[in-house]
Amino acid sequence: MSEEAKKNQYSADSIQALEGMEHVRMRPSMYIGDVGTRGLHHLVYEVVDNSIDEAMGGHCDTISVTINEDNSITTRDNGRGIPVGLHKKEGVSALEVVMTKIGAGGKFDKDSYKVSGGLHGVGVSCVNALSSHLKATVFREGKVWEQEYERGKSQYPVKSTGDTTDRGTVVTFTPDNTIFSQTTEYNYETLANRMRELSYLNKGVRITLTDKRNKDEKGEFISDSFYSEEGLKEFIKFLDATRETLIQNVISMEGEKNGIPVEVAMVYNTGYSENLHSYVNNINTHEGGTHLSGFRRGLTSTLKKYADASGMLDKLKFEISGDDFREGLTAIVSVKVAEPQFEGQTKTKLGNREVTSAVSQAVSEMLTDYLEENPDDAKQIVEKVKLAAQARHAAAKAREMVQRKNPMSVGGLPGKLSDCSEQDATKCEVFLVEGDSAGGTAKQGRDRMFQAILPLRGKILNVEKAMQHKVFENEEIKNIYTALGVTIGTEEDSKALNLEKLRYHKVVIMCDADVDGSHIETLILTFFFRYMRELIEGGHVYIATPPLYLVKKGSKKRYAWTDKERDEIVESMGGAAGIQRYKGLGEMNAEQLWDTTMNPEFRTLRQVTIDNATETDRIFSMLMGDEVPPRREFIEKNAVYANIDV
Ligand code: 0RA
């Protein structure tokens, strides 16, 4: 072939490869979920998942991820390196096929079944398609190989640039800002949380994260290195660090059942909430599925058998239910499935039937051994189950009270609620306001057509430390249930929140912009997270952002939300303006509150989302638990709780 013909042949191949790539650029959300912050971070996970795959095959033990100064990302691993030889079918280097063919991203050798993979398992080619620039460097068979791409299009054939004794793959990519138009700025904490999680899920792999945009006091780049010797066992200790443990050890097992790799770790604490986390191929399965059912089944049957044999429950007058075995339980189930079927609303529910019995068996064996070897712990657990059953009985009565009220009859609505006149719930908003006086101002300032006000008295109950029946007996909480028109129990799930009769599609928490206000905000969020998670997941929960300052000069008036903004306004007014600091909502009059915080045209509402349920869980238990030092440290470090992604 002549040089010219070679060149033509080369571009013909890359044009063909581009068809799938164009589709990724046209419909990015189909591949990475969305093109917001989540999707942006997803690009990193996708590349790292490939490195984790190498690690799971035993070919790699070190991965590094660097956020470069310009928000491009560099990942490096010491795996085998992406193959660079000629790919016979495609007629170009395998590296080029991996980087530019959608679906070819996986391994060619079928015997190493791909167990990792991002939420959508789309491969690095997808990251390439969504990057304005990407450079792949491969260290393999003594040589360094390189290829660069723009928007997924290779710029030249794979070339060798030198010799090396290293092995591995380096990928540097710049997310395309025409696709990620909202932001291309990476959040260090978000990446750190995922890298930490991955290190627990894949013990023995060192994952280092470095942020070249920021330096610490010593002049060094911000960096964390995650490494876990014991895997899930350590993950449990990390999650439960601020809870008081009920038993001596973390109970754990690791093995293969019916050909399915299963890892389980669990511990009981003295608290009341159930914290189950499950993973399939390193992906957090928020909606649970067959592996979680297997865990529950194994736990219930084993504990029930033990408890019955012990005679400790003989005097109990009612049946123990499955829930009773899980109060104060923190557990993680992680399975690897060759061809996972994901179901559910967010495609995070495992559907593979065969997994249930594999996990159930694993849990039974693990727990039977532990109970036999640790009779004191066994006694503690059964004792706790018994108390849980008694409390559940009390809670059922209290919950009935919440359920019985019919929120559709005005008579049933809480007296303190100032309702709106609009009947269409999708147009309605309710403001949960701290204190009666601010509630009064909000009531005057609102647009009564579509905005309702529910004042909450003082501090609401800390549900993290209260037993369920106390929660359902609490006046403020009962008011929230009836005002929102939500009940407990749907046709499918007796414990799920029923949103069918939700009366307001926006639920806005409005608190003072001070320490007390943010504490109350956290209490309300804790309640929503533990008892109304579906409301958050449905995108219904928001936080209002009242201004911190009023800057006045002559007849000019402007509001500021940050110190920086305040200074800029003062300067734009030519200096020496009068500044009023709002210490609370109560200091604003109705008109000011409407203008700055409630008027949809000008206000900023922060939508509350749950980015990472495992991490959110840990943060709430820490913020609301008994131990003060970690909480103080967290609040000082994060000022507001940026970490739960509000
Ligand atoms: C295809 C085949 C093989 C490895 C990889 C891809 C691979 C991809 C990435 C992405 C980041 N790091 C990676 N490391 C490896 C198998 C290699 C072989 O059979 O030698």
Task: Please tell me the predicted confidence (pLDDT) of residue 525.
Answer: 93
Distance 196 CA to ligand 1 centre (A): 23
Query: How do 143-150 and 206-215 pair as beta strands?
Result: unpaired
Is residue 15's pLDDT more than 50?
no
Distance 107 CA to ligand 1 centre (A): 7
Residue 13 pLDDT grade (very low, low, confident, very high; cuts 50, 70, 90): low
Give the rounded percent of residues in the chain with a pLDDT score beyond 70: 89
Taking CA atoms only, the protein residue closest to ligand 1 atom 9 is 50
Q: Mind listing the pLDDT tens digit for each residue in 144-187?
A: 999 999 999 999 999 999 999 999 999 999 999 999 999 999 99
Taking CA atoms only, the protein residue closest to ligand 1 atom 8 is 82
CA 135 to chain centroid: 30
Q: Half-sphere exposure of residue 63, counting CA atoms within 13 Å on the CB side? A: 29
| Mean pLDDT over each residue of the chain, to the nearest integer | 88
Lowest mean pLDDT among 142-146, 384-388, 608-612: 608-612
**3-state secondary structure string across 531-574:** HCHHHHHCCCEEEECCCCEEEEECCEEEEECCHHHHHHHHHHCC
Is residue 634's pLDDT more than 50?
yes
Q: What is the mean pLDDT of residues 84-113?
A: 75
The residues assigned a catalytic role are: 434, 512, 514, 516
Task: Please tell me the predicted confidence (pLDDT) of residue 105.
Answer: 45
Residue 459 in contact with residue 520, Cβ under 8 Å? yes
Most confident of 10-24, 169-183, 335-349, 557-571: 169-183
Q: Mind listing the pLDDT tens digit for each residue in 492-515?
A: 777 789 999 999 999 999 998 887
Ligand 1: does its nearest atom lie under 6 Å from the Cβ of 65?
Answer: no
Integer Cα distance of 51 and 53 in angstroms: 5
Ligand 1: does its nearest atom lie under 6 Å from the Cβ of 500?
Answer: no
Taking CA atoms only, the protein residue closest to ligand 1 atom 4 is 82
Is residue 120's pLDDT more than 60?
no
Integer Cα distance of 333 and 299 in angstroms: 12
DSSP result, 388-423 = HHHHHHHHHHHHHHHHHS-TTSGGGS-TT-B--S--
Is residue 410's pLDDT more than 50?
no
pTM: 0.81
Kindly give the number of the ligand 1 atom that is closest to the alpha carbon of 171: 11
Q: Mind listing the pLDDT tens digit for each residue in 233-291?
A: 999 999 999 999 999 899 999 999 999 999 999 999 999 889 999 999 999 999 999 99
Task: Please tell me the predicted confidence (pLDDT) of residue 594.
Answer: 96
Distance 173 CA to ligand 1 centre (A): 17
Is residue 458's pLDDT more than 70?
no
Task: Please tell me the predicted confidence (pLDDT) of residue 113.
Answer: 39
Higher pLDDT, 391 or 336: 336
Q: Mind listing the pLDDT tens digit for each residue in 76-92?
A: 999 999 999 999 988 99
Kindly give the number of the ligand 1 atom that is closest to the alpha carbon of 51: 12
Q: Mind listing the pLDDT tens digit for each residue in 431-454?
A: 999 887 889 999 999 999 999 999
Query: How do 131-140 and 86-87 pair as beta strands?
Result: unpaired
Residue 441 in contact with residue 593, Cβ under 8 Å? yes
Integer Cα distance of 504 and 450 in angstroms: 9
Task: Please tell me the predicted confidence (pLDDT) of residue 112.
Answer: 38
Residue 315 pLDDT grade (very low, low, confident, very high; cuts 50, 70, 90): confident
Task: Please tell me the predicted confidence (pLDDT) of residue 516.
Answer: 82
Most confident of 99-108, 244-253, 608-617: 244-253
Is residue 632's pLDDT more than 80?
no
Task: Please tell me the predicted confidence (pLDDT) of residue 111.
Answer: 36
* Angular region, 421: left φ>0, alpha ψ -120 to 50, beta rest: alpha
Higher pLDDT, 178 or 557: 178
